[in-house]
Structure 1
Amino acid sequence: MHALICGSMAFDTIMVFQDRFRHHILPEKVHMLNVSFLVPEMRREFGGCAGNIAYNLKLLGGSPLVMATVGDDFAPYQARLESLGIAQQHIQRVPQSFTAQAFITTDLDDNQITAFHPGAMTQSHLNRVADAKQVSLGIVAPDGRDGMLQHAREFKAAGIPFIFDPGQGMPMFNGEELLAFIELADYVAVNDYEAQLLQERTGLTLDAIAGKVRALIVTRGGEGSQIYADGERLDIPCVQAEAVVDPTGCGDAYRAGLMYGIMHSLGWLKTGRLAALLGALKIARRGAQNHVFDRGAIAAMYLEQFGERLW
């Protein structure tokens, strides 16, 4: 059976400014800002929530199906997915558009200025969940607004359990819409900031949200994560990473672990630990898809970290 991953496919163009923004942005002149930063260091990474989740799930031995809309410039990403053996039949090209992409400039203090172009992502509602076959679990990850609303309803109508993962798409929805997502979803996954925003917009506590779904998962960065399920809260510690290099894509790696654990009935403790391990592997490498592992390596790391077999 497959995991259907509804979300964005994107290119991330990352540039490094070898100075500090504060030396070039005058507070008293922000009303007439006109600055230019020389960025001799630049790299282009493969990203997007759906792409990142699928990448990690594939490395675990899972069978991800990506459902996304992309632009005319998608060819390099297409070639990458082919090399990884990730199915593309539900990735739809939107003519005369760009694939979603972020342009990120970082200074020496790790401050960032980001411009995001959604491009073809805004047309994600062109895809239909019903077109995907043999799906046992889905996820509605950050994507076009209309697509996220539609895919949540379609998962429910098809009887396919799914994770609602609003991520950076949270600001697009009001309290009533977020409540509707929670009512439709089987699982909700957010980070600690998003959890606070979700509570404020819906008027529900975390315990109340958890009571409406099979599980509520809250990631807390270096403080680990919490899984609310079966009337209890399970605290999952953070796994010590080889190095802390780049947090981009850590949440997506964690969600791939969640999906694998749910699909293989690993139980919440083992599922949370696997997800945390994937996050630690990701943070040690730059970019969202440059860490590499296989099932044997994951099993060995899991045994070393937790003193028990993973599978």
Structure 2
Amino acid sequence: MVRIGVVGSISTDFVVEASRRPEQGETVFGDSFETSFGGKGANQAVASARLGADVSIIGAVGDDEFANRLVTNLQNENINTDAVQNVSGVPSGSAIITLVERDNSIIYVAGANDEVKPEDISKELVKSFDIMLVQNETPVETIEQLIDMCNEVDTPIILNPAPAREMSEAYIAKVDYLTPNESEFKVLFPGETMENILQKNPNKIIVTLGAEGAVFFDGKSHQWIPAVDVLDVVDTTGAGDTFNGALAFGVASGLALEESVQFANLAGSLSITKKGAQAGMPTLEMMREHKKFNTKWKFGGEK
């Protein structure tokens, strides 16, 4: 069983569905409201765990009414939460999500996720994982120390740079895999073409393209991996997180990068058939049943 460590956010999603987004100063009627479990760190941890990985998460929750539910949800997904701390005096993280025509926009409030500190992560813990997964919903100094530690102990790391923020060339060079979407790519590499940046970073930068799939450069040519068509699109909120959790699982299982991206694309496509970031995340058994599953993909010592 592959061991995946996730450093990242743990939050509650407050989801409003409406026919359109309000203009500035305008109030519009919504069609529905619900809460669900979220946070990019938690989502990616759940995605990996559903596929069968042994997952541990390093993060923080507040001292509010959401904290225990957030941790219990992770434990119910068989995720180790020993490194999740309760921080007094701050709320748990939250995201306000608006769904319009099955697509989303998000306002993120960090809360306790800003309290995940560099000292919460040890080299011994990082070394115990087959791969690490991190996003941009925890402090920069924590992310940079994690990247440095992964380099020191030779643990591969995937950085999903969401939400988008500038990043130094030095730390881009240190990560093994960088997975921006198109808008995040523009923040990371302003004024640069995707073709040029991918060629300079072979087998490192995988740009997710939503319904168009994903693309990377393998050292010889650009590899465009198409998304899997899904008839019943319900909610795209967790698609990117599912992609990253599945990518980590594929890479840690020994799949080639192209195979890992194909596998992650399939998982991300299947995840959008249910409402809520985590609700639609598939198990490995569910993926095996899909016609696009490649029976040559082997996981966890399979032959």
- The residue matched to 1:81 in structure 2 has which SS? helix
1:214 Cα offset (Å): 4.3
Aligned-pair distance for 1:278? 0.6
**Matched residue, 2:208:** 219
Residue 67 of structure 1 and its aligned partner are, at CA, apart by 1.3
Distance in 2 (CA, whole Å) between partners of 1:152 and 1:308 is 34
1:219 and 1:205 map into 2 onto residues whose CA distance is 12
Structure ranking higher in helix proportion: 1
**Offset of 1:137 from its aligned partner?**
0.8
Q: For residues 193 and 116 of structure 2, what CA distance do their matches in structure 1 show?
A: 29
Provide closer, same or farther for how the CA distance between residues 191 and 6 of structure 1 changes in structure 2, counting only shifts above 3 A. Answer: same
- The one-character-per-residue Cα deviations of 1:140-178 (angstroms, maximum 9, x if unpaired) are 21222332223222222332211121121x23x3xxx43
Number of the residue aligned with 1:7: 8
Q: 1:125 aligns with which of 117, 122, 143?
A: 117
1:163 aligns with 2:158: yes
Higher Cα Rg: structure 1 or 2? 1
Corresponding residue number in structure 2 for 1:299: 288
Q: TM-score when scaled to structure 1? A: 0.83
What are the within-5 Å matches in structure 2 for residues 48-67 of structure 1? 48-67=39-58
Residue 307 of structure 1 deviates from its aligned partner by: 5.8
| Residue 76 (structure 1) aligned with residue 69 (structure 2) | yes
Q: State the one-letter code of the partner of 2:280.
A: H
The 1-side partners of 2:179 and 2:105 are apart by 26
**Alignment CA distance shift 1:13-1:131 (3 Å):** farther
Q: Decide which of 95, 109, 116 is 2:108's aligned counterpart.
A: 116
Q: Give the secondary structure class of the aligned counterpart of 2:292.
A: helix
Stretches of structure 2 that go unaligned for 5 or more consecutive residues are: 299-303
1:96 and 2:89 correspond: yes
- Residue ranges of structure 1 left out of the alignment (5+ in a row): none
RMSD: 2.6
Of 32, 37, 40, the match for 1:41: 32
Displacement, 1:289?
A: 0.6
- Kept after mapping to 2: 8 A contact 1:227/1:268: no
Match of 2:173 among 160, 183, 188: 183
Identity of aligned residues (%): 22
How many residue pairs end up in the alignment?
292
Shift of 1:309: 3.6
C-alpha contact (below 8 Å) 1:5/1:64 kept by paired residues: yes
Q: What's the offset of the Cα at 1:291?
A: 1.4
Q: Aligned with 1:215: secondary structure?
A: coil
Residues 195-214 of structure 1 aligned to structure 2 (within 5 Å): 195-200=185-190, 207-208=196-197, 211-212=200-201, 214=203
